[in-house]
Amino acid sequence: MTFVRSQEMKIDLTPEQADMLSTKEDIKTIIRENPDTVMAFDIFDGIDLIGFALVHRFEERKYFLWEYAIDVRFQNRHKGTRALAELIEYMKARHGAKEITTTYIYGNDHARHVYEKVGFVETDVVDEPDCHEVNMAYYL
């Protein structure tokens, strides 16, 4: 996998998946307004653009995986799990990451499975009237 810096999310998702992420316009704004702490990556498998990741540095050597998605054409082929594992190694090697945290919407069992498969562990659950998320962390 290759990770190429990006200024926007270029992949396609199902409508249900798109509802779980920030909008493409919001992602552009986040990237533009946070150049010192946010990195966005197009994820390539060979010549194929298969995914997108948005990472936010919140402390020295600590990162939050803000957005992570695989293009609908490449889902269910184990590419998302492999890309995530390689992204973690990339962040460790290139950016000295010691911890990567993320969240997923409670009930999204596919996301939970992918995160757990690469080594993320659940840290807590946010269950409030307008927020039902599971927090996870990966310690390098």
CATH node for 2-139? 3.40.630.30
Residues 90-116 have a mean pLDDT of 94
pLDDT, tens digit, for every residue of 37-96? 999 999 999 999 999 999 999 999 999 999 999 999 999 899 999 999 999 999 999 999
Higher pLDDT, 128 or 90: 90
The order of strands in the sheet holding 99-105 is 2-5, 38-45, 48-59, 62-70, 99-105, 131-139, 121-128
